């Protein structure tokens, strides 16, 4: 999977009501193992649960796409773990339950490999975007390591992606500020309800 964020930092910040600081993002594609903007409302350095009181402002910061695997995993991709499929995994559940580690990954399109072409047998790149939101948010979680990295949450594929032979897709949040706020601040008992396929009728493919 690849994705694109064809919007500059200032425009992304306005879309998400986030402070961008001096983020240099000018737009373009994002590959595994590359730094990309994420939207967070947590602290930079985590020590215990989120403190009570006024929450931190929402801001855009760079994170590496790919989380180092646990030491017991010896055949992980060289760019680390890119997606979270098992929400109950001991490796992820602590971070998912602590909203400090949940973040949003802004995008304008994502790519999945489609079915082979009937003419030459080669697999095709299928780019998907959201017809109802030019810049959308993918749900993600990050881990604090030597170089903090993020992984996208995956869910069952919708009909459009299943038609291309895909079993999963990234979790895309609706264009509702309340949904984004829930992912960044809410308890896991409510936030996990956002992990569901995005409607095929609201997506376009090229």
DSSP string, 93-123: HHHHHSGGGEEEEEESEEEEEEEEPTTT--E
* Mean pLDDT of the region 67-89: 86
- CA pair distance 180, 186, nearest whole angstrom: 10
DSSP helix/strand/coil, 193 = helix
* pLDDT for the residue 99: 92
What topology is assigned to 2-44+56-205 in CATH? Answer: hypothetical protein yedk fold (3.90.1680)
* pLDDT for the residue 35: 96
* pLDDT for the residue 101: 93
* pLDDT for the residue 120: 87
Q: What is the pLDDT of residues 105-159, one digit of tens each?
A: 999 999 999 998 888 888 899 999 999 999 999 999 999 888 899 999 999 999 9
- CA pair distance 109, 198, nearest whole angstrom: 13
pTM of the model: 0.93
* pLDDT for the residue 79: 83
* pLDDT for the residue 205: 94
- Contact at 8 Å (CB) between 30 and 62? no
- The larger pLDDT score, comparing residue 206 to residue 53, is at 206
Burial of 97 (0-12, 13-18, 19+ CB in 10 A): middle
Rounded to 5 degrees, φ, ψ at 158 are -85, 180
Phi-psi map region of 160: left, alpha, beta (phi>0 left; psi -120 to 50 alpha): alpha
* pLDDT for the residue 49: 60
Q: What is the pLDDT of residues 20-45, one digit of tens each?
A: 999 999 999 999 999 999 999 977 66
Sequence-ordered alpha helix ranges (H) in the chain: 9-16, 90-97, 159-162, 177-185, 188-191
Q: Residue ranges per domain, the chain? A: 2-44+56-205
Average pLDDT taken over every residue of the chain:
92
* pLDDT for the residue 55: 63
């Amino acid at each position: 999977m690849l994705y694109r964020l064809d919007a500059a930092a200032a425009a992304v910040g306005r879309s998400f009501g986030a402070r961008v600081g001096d983020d240099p993002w000018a737009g373009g594609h994002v590959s595994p193992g590359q730094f990309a903007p994420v939207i967070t409302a947590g602290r930079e350095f985590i020590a215990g649960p989120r403190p009570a009181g006024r929450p931190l402002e929402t801001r855009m910061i760079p994170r590496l796409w790919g989380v180092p695997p646990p030491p017991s995993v010896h055949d992980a991709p060289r760019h680390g773990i890119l997606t979270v499929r098992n929400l109950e995994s001991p490796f992820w559940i602590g971070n998912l339950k602590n909203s400090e580690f949940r973040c949003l990954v802004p995008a304008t399109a994502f790519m999945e490999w489609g079915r082979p072409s009937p003419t030459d047998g080669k697999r095709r790149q299928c780019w998907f975007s959201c017809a109802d939101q030019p810049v959308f948010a993918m749900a993600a979680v990050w881990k604090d390591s030597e170089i903090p990295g993020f992984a996208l949450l995956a869910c069952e594929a919708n009909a459009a992606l299943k038609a291309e032979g895909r079993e999963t897709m990234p979790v895309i949040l609706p264009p509702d500020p309340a949904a984004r706020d829930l992912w960044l601040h809410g308890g896991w008992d409510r936030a996990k309800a956002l992990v569901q396929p995005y409607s095929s009728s609201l997506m376009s493919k090229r």
